[in-house]
Structure 1
Amino acid sequence: MEKVPIKTVMAILVDNRKETAERVQKILTAWGCLIKTRLGLHDGVLDNCSDAGLIILELVGSSEQHKELCEKLNKMPGVKADYMELSFDS
């Protein structure tokens, strides 16, 4: 029987980017081997950048690792993270 592929996607909301982004980056760097794809989004151009941002990650690794990363991010003030697993049923 063929194994059904599971994709894990994490979304991270970052408020007060100027003060929070560096700490978020340190956590993501420490867990970098779990991150297959990363997309960072925020509104703004040149001197008019928004203070909030959204990071979307495609993760590899175990469910336990995903949970631990999510918990570490959620302990930070101004950060909200959550993840989901997606798959096709066979």
Structure 2
Amino acid sequence: MFTIMIIKLEPRVSTAPTVQEILTKYGCIIHTRLGLHEATKTSCSNSGLIVLNLMNDEKEEINKLKEELENLKGITIKLVEV
């Protein structure tokens, strides 16, 4: 089984530093992290996605991570177990 957390940041530029601090705090339960946003030579999107593959056996830590992120303005979280 995989535990995947999808985080939408909007506005990305102002929320990203705080999100980064939180992700660093919970870094030991993150197997894989992928960050996505649209970027061209002339513009950079103000919304972004972060996809995390999390350790399945750390439910309590996953819930703490989710709660901390949900307390931030401009953050949307989806947790998927497959």
Equivalent position of 1:75 in the other structure: 71
Equivalent position of 1:37 in the other structure: 32
**Overall identity of the aligned pairs, in %:** 41
TM-score by length of 1: 0.84
Report the Cα distance in structure 2 between the residues aligned to 1:23 and 1:64, rounded to whole angstroms.
21
- Partner amino acid, structure 2, of 1:51: N
Q: Provide runs of 4+ in structure 1 moved above 6 Å.
A: none
- Output aligned runs, 1:8-87, within 5 Å: 8-60=3-55, 61-86=57-82
Give unmatched runs, 5+ long, in structure 2. Answer: none
Report the Cα distance in structure 1 between the residues aligned to 2:33 and 2:41, rounded to whole angstroms.
22
Coordinate RMSD, CA, aligned: 1.0
User: Larger Rg: 1 or 2?
Assistant: 1
Specify the SS of the correspondent of 2:49. Answer: strand
**1:4-24, CA deviations, whole angstroms, 9 ceiling, x for partnerless residues?**
xx2100000000111110000
Deviation at 1:82, TM superposition (A): 2.0
Report the Cα distance in structure 1 between the residues aligned to 2:52 and 2:41, rounded to whole angstroms.
25
Deviation at 1:55, TM superposition (A): 0.3
Give unmatched runs, 5+ long, in structure 1. Answer: 1-5
How many equivalent pairs are there? 81
Specify the SS of the correspondent of 2:2. Answer: strand
TM-score by length of 2: 0.92
- Partner amino acid, structure 2, of 1:14: L
Deviation at 1:81, TM superposition (A): 1.2
- Partner amino acid, structure 2, of 1:63: K
